[in-house]
Structure 1
Amino acid sequence: MAFYTLGLTFSIVIALTVVVLAIWLYGMYFNFKKWGIGSTGYQEPLAHSFWLFIATWIHEAFKDGVWVFIRTLILDVLLLRRTLRRSPVRWVMHMAIFYGFVTLAALSGLGLFMDIIEHFNILGMAHQAEMVKKAMELPFDIFGYLLLFGSTISILRRILLKEVRDATTGYDVVLIGGVFLITITGFYAEWMRGNAFLVGDVFANPVYAPHFALIHTILALCLFAFILPWSRYLHVIAAPMTILANRGGE
């Protein structure tokens, strides 16, 4: 459990994870219910409810059949073809950020699950859990570099391109800057432990590795729980759902 240092014990991480997930789930429930108020075509007891929005979204998303839903999901949500038509550079940036962020979030969840199995030796599978975590190190690095690549492009566009810089708001600075800081502090925590992917022992400094690990964890939890569900950055969920409900198109 070398990651959980500087007072961030395994028990505290589990407790924080539960709190963060609870806040995030409530944020989703709150927003879905709010969106349901604007829906039409349903009467009591569904009116102005969480379930109204879910029912309306499913009805619209599958209105033209399952095949149209699958096609829209693949081409417009997973491959971002509309973004590619507008700008290949923005497409590369969005693909890198999207797949880097989503995959790292999934790997982090799996890693925490493996930590729980290893810590409590559930079903006597502590050794197997440790092996799974070892196998996850390379995917973590690859998708971490992918996210770093995408967020760096986003930052450079806002610095170098006047039209992008003029359209940048404080919200953009918080989100893109937050993602960049989360990514780079995570990398620094790994690099300082030594024998890191691509950089080896260049940044090795085990004394400070736990500090960056702690900063990385706190920033990630704050972004996930206190920014994404409660700001306009909910569009990372709302935009794909809107595209699916509209069955693609512009």
Structure 2
Amino acid sequence: MDFKTFISATSGFFLILILSSHSFGQNQEIQINNNQIPEMSELQEEESLECMECHREANIDSNEGVLSSQAFCLDCHKEKDCITEKDGIELSLQLTRETFIKNLPIHQYVACTECHTDVARSPHRTETGSQCTGCHSVHGEAAAHAPHLRVECQACHFKSEHVKLDKSDHMIKLAQENNAGKPISLVEHKLADTSDEESCQKCHSLDNSVGAPAAVLPSKGAICILCHAAPLKIGHWMFGAALLVFLGGLLLCFRSWFQGNVQGESESLSRKINLSSESVWSTVFSKQFFSIVKIFILDILLQRRILKESVSRWSMHSLIFLSILLRFALGLFTAAIFTANPDNGVAIALIDKNAPFTAFTYDLLGLLILFGIIWSVIKRFIVKPEYVVSEYKDNIALVIIGALIVLGFVLEGARILVAGVPASIAGYAFVGYPLSKCFAIFGQEWWASFYSVLWYLHAGVGALFIAWLPFGKMRHIFTVPLTYFIEAVSKVKRGEADSPQRQQ
């Protein structure tokens, strides 16, 4: 063996030795790393694995993508052996596309993950359920007679008679068990016909377990907006009748007012209206507009003229008038903001009777109105100062407003009791909640059956109040501001009977 051959063989030997040791080290490192890889079950215990972190998600903004996404889910769920087990009972999770389209045709081009937002993961189970409000807005009273904010969508819209009250979050939900406590499957996605009031009887029936009134009640009407958050619709027929009487009385009231002299015209009603309208529009676009604004703020809202006459009379009057005005303004604001954007957090809070601000504010303003009524009654029938002239129209107005407020508080207390609203939520209704505790001595079931009677009594008195406004003493809500405005603009002569200085 020559020297070159020896050197080549030796170099090759050492090269093979080095490569072998390096390969052994890599294998050992791989073995060590493999030993450090946790089992899948360990990963599942630590955190869930999102499927779409690795798998490509279809474009569910297109019909093709939706069908692809549905096919991905139905690839397993279409099989008969797609089952789950709960409390030792096997429940089928089988759902074919044909069944899905038959039971839920309106959603046939909606991807499963659009509703079931948290199921595309391992472990393959949901924590939140289907999320309807991802696409659908919260509905107000017009759609379902009440906002139903403490009721999950599926409880009403799924065709299942089993519902439950979850006391952990005080929400009414679709039950996963039947009345016997055995698990049931809801995989067929059947929707109820919510236009049929029979579907409401799963909650609104005697001896229901979710704290709902025993009868399906109408929604509020537009006239209720004077004191409540209400939809801009007629509502029950008695609200429509009250509105017609109110409008008719208002026309008669204005016609009576125009019997005076308007800028020298004393005969033609149409001429008086035209002259007054011309004066109003010319004032709006003139420097006098600011005088009108001043009159509106000082003499109408803040009632400066009454304050000059008597501080006590102004205080009593303001408790009633300003509180009603503030509730009316809040109702108008709620209707406007909810109509513009029903998903707005402020709008949802304002239509929620249990929201802290809403419950506290409405109770406070209602209590101030009641204080004003009590003060007025004491002054008229007990103190009886010489300058106070009590008429039957005054007494009727006091009785109607007082009854309306008292019935409202009783109704609120009954609602809190029947619904079982916990103190942490209902406590902001500082009048209604204590009343609910007092009412508890009669039993929750009794109030649940009597609640509908209370509702119709309150609604009837409210309709009577609206209908009575243009005919009773309360008509000065309209006539006095109109008198102030046109007196400043067109120098209208007014009779002593309509004088705002007249003692009440």
- Per the normalisation by structure 1, the TM-score is 0.76
Q: Is residue 213 from structure 1 mapped to residue 455 from structure 2 by the alignment? A: yes
Alignment of 1:116-135 (within 5 A): 130-134=348-352, 135=355
User: Max radius of gyration: which structure?
Assistant: 2
Check conservation: 1:33, 1:51, Cα contact below 8 A: no
Q: Name which of 153, 160, 176 aligns with 2:375.
A: 153
- Corresponding residue number in structure 2 for 1:96: 319
Check conservation: 2:307, 2:313, Cα contact below 8 A: yes
Check conservation: 2:360, 2:430, Cα contact below 8 A: no
Distance 1:4 1:127 in 2: 27
Go from structure 1 to structure 2 and tell me whether the alpha carbon gap of 1:106 and 1:18 turns closer, same or farther (over 3 Å shift). farther
Distance 1:217 1:181 in 2: 11
After TM superposition, the structure 1 stretch with the greater mean CA deviation from structure 2, 84-93 or 19-28, is 19-28
User: Which one has a larger percent helix, Structure 1 or Structure 2?
Assistant: 1
Distance 1:161 1:7 in 2: 46
Q: Runs of at least 4 residues of structure 1 off by over 4 A?
A: 2-8, 59-64, 106-111, 122-130
After TM superposition, the structure 1 stretch with the greater mean CA deviation from structure 2, 64-73 or 146-155, is 64-73
- Corresponding residue number in structure 2 for 1:76: 299
- Corresponding residue number in structure 1 for 2:395: 173
Structure 1 residue 80: deviation in Å? 1.2
CA displacement, residues 86-117 of structure 1 (integer Å, 9 cap, x when unaligned): 22111111111111222334445667x59x97
Code of the residue aligned with 2:374 in structure 1: it is T
Count of residue correspondences = 242
- Corresponding residue number in structure 1 for 2:268: 47
Distance 1:91 1:41 in 2: 33
Q: Name which of 220, 228, 231 aligns with 2:472.
A: 231
After TM superposition, the structure 1 stretch with the greater mean CA deviation from structure 2, 236-245 or 63-72, is 63-72
Code of the residue aligned with 2:457 in structure 1: it is I
- Corresponding residue number in structure 1 for 2:288: 65
Alignment of 1:183-222 (within 5 A): 183-194=405-416, 195=426, 197-199=429-431, 200=433, 201-205=436-440, 207=447, 208-222=450-464
- Structure 2 portions without partners, runs of 5+: 1-145, 149-211, 221-233, 417-425, 490-499
After TM superposition, the structure 1 stretch with the greater mean CA deviation from structure 2, 152-161 or 136-145, is 136-145
Distance 1:104 1:41 in 2: 37
- Corresponding residue number in structure 2 for 1:242: 483
Structure 1 residue 209: deviation in Å? 3.9
Give the structure, 1 or 2, with the largest relative contact order (CA under 8 Å, sep 6 or more).
Answer: 1
After TM superposition, the structure 1 stretch with the greater mean CA deviation from structure 2, 12-21 or 75-84, is 12-21
Go from structure 1 to structure 2 and tell me whether the alpha carbon gap of 1:132 and 1:231 turns closer, same or farther (over 3 Å shift). closer
Output the aligned Cα RMSD.
4.0
Structure 1 residue 40: deviation in Å? 3.1
CA displacement, residues 154-196 of structure 1 (integer Å, 9 cap, x when unaligned): 1111122123697212111110121111111101111223336
Check conservation: 1:61, 1:244, Cα contact below 8 A: no
Go from structure 1 to structure 2 and tell me whether the alpha carbon gap of 1:110 and 1:67 turns closer, same or farther (over 3 Å shift). closer
Check conservation: 1:96, 1:150, Cα contact below 8 A: yes
Distance 1:164 1:202 in 2: 43
CA displacement, residues 20-78 of structure 1 (integer Å, 9 cap, x when unaligned): 333322322232233334343477xx931384475277279769711221221111111
Distance 2:345 2:214 in 1: 22
Secondary structure, counterpart of 1:163 in structure 2: coil
Go from structure 1 to structure 2 and tell me whether the alpha carbon gap of 1:10 and 1:78 turns closer, same or farther (over 3 Å shift). closer
- Corresponding residue number in structure 2 for 1:10: 219
- Per the normalisation by structure 2, the TM-score is 0.41
- Corresponding residue number in structure 1 for 2:364: 142
Distance 2:252 2:213 in 1: 32
Code of the residue aligned with 2:269 in structure 1: it is H
Percent pairwise identity: 21
Distance 1:55 1:24 in 2: 23
- Structure 1 portions without partners, runs of 5+: none
